[in-house]
Amino acid sequence: MNTAYQIVVCAGIVPDPLQTLEPITSAAGPALKNEMMLPAILDPWAGHALYEAANLAKHKTGSKVWLVSLGPKAKLQQVMMTVAQKVPFELIALDGPASGFTDASETANALADAIVAIPGLDKSKLLVFGGWESASRGAGVTMQTVGERLGIVDQFQGVDELKVNADGSLEILERIEGGKHQISKCAGLPALLGWATGNLPEPKNNPQIGMVNMRTVMPALQKAKPTRLAGEGLLFASVTLPKQLRETKIVKDKPTDDIAREIVEWITK
């Protein structure tokens, strides 16, 4: 059974993790020092979702992938110059804050509204992908809220693998507690999948794919809808870096059991 899917990937952008991030309190609330100067990348969790979506669309004739992203227009353009060379997609850009201090509910509402506005959207063919977690918006509820706003009740979080059966049903490998997985089955669409790491490596850059994507990426950025997240009701008492604690002791010729016992005692203090 060959089903053509409409796959929408929700993906944010985050500062490059190799940079030093220093939280500050600005006039508008919590922020990162020199945030607009920091190089950005696609959120790693969402990146897995995008690559899995492109792989599924590649094997299902007639399928299409949309990438919905909320972030400052200038930063989105910087990130898309690289991401556009990875896999084929059509960008839907929302010009707004990408800070980790934004409210997950407001972010989800903006993403859901953008998805509903996609021309020709057919919920009987719809798969919504995203990161199970996020390197910035780490509340862990954004994708779930997007699904609720879209009326999608079949939601799967912590997904590592997706298989399409011969009858069109989906077999989904989900992470659960205790380092284990469970196999879930979904009889039909729409469905929402919050991806963990997946099974696919990051695709190599392909300039030809990049050229095709940029034909739609640049117009999408030019007409990106301004999106304001008011953050009403949010209050941050303070924002600081986690304190570093280092205790070093050099000991020679000590039995490994004693070393292990001391480490356990130190951790459980």
pLDDT of residue 212: 93
Cβ atoms of residues 54 and 70 within 8 Å: no
pLDDT of residue 97: 83
User: How many CA atoms does the CB half-sphere of 262 hold within 13 Å?
Assistant: 11
pLDDT band at 79, cuts 50/70/90? very high
pLDDT, average across residues 47-56: 95
In CATH terms, the fold of domain 6-226 is: Rossmann fold (3.40.50)
Residue type, 143: M
pLDDT surpasses 80 at 22: no
pLDDT band at 150, cuts 50/70/90? very high
pLDDT digits (tens, 9 = 90+) for 98-126: 777 778 888 899 999 999 999 999 999 99
**pTM confidence score:** 0.83
pLDDT surpasses 80 at 236: no
